[in-house]
Amino acid sequence: MERIEVELFTDPGNDAVVRLPPRRFPGVLIQGDSLSTIRDDVAEIVEACDQGDVGEVREAAALLLSNFDELLARYTAALKAHDIPIPFYQAP
Per-residue pLDDT of 8-64, as tens digits, reads 999 998 899 999 999 999 999 999 999 999 999 999 999 999 999 999 999 999 999
Sketch the domain layout of the chain as residue ranges. 7-81
| Alpha carbon distance 35, 18 (integer Å) | 17
| Alpha carbon distance 76, 68 (integer Å) | 12
Determine how many CB atoms are found less than 10 A away from the CB of residue 26.
Answer: 22
Per-residue pLDDT at 13 = 86
Per-residue pLDDT at 92 = 75
Average pLDDT value over all residues in the chain = 94
In this prediction the pTM is 0.88
Nearest partner of 41 among 70, 64, 68, judged by Cα: 64
| Alpha carbon distance 77, 23 (integer Å) | 19
Do residues 51 and 36 lie in contact, with contact meaning Cβ atoms separated by under 8 Å? no
Per-residue pLDDT of 55-64, as tens digits, reads 999 999 999 9
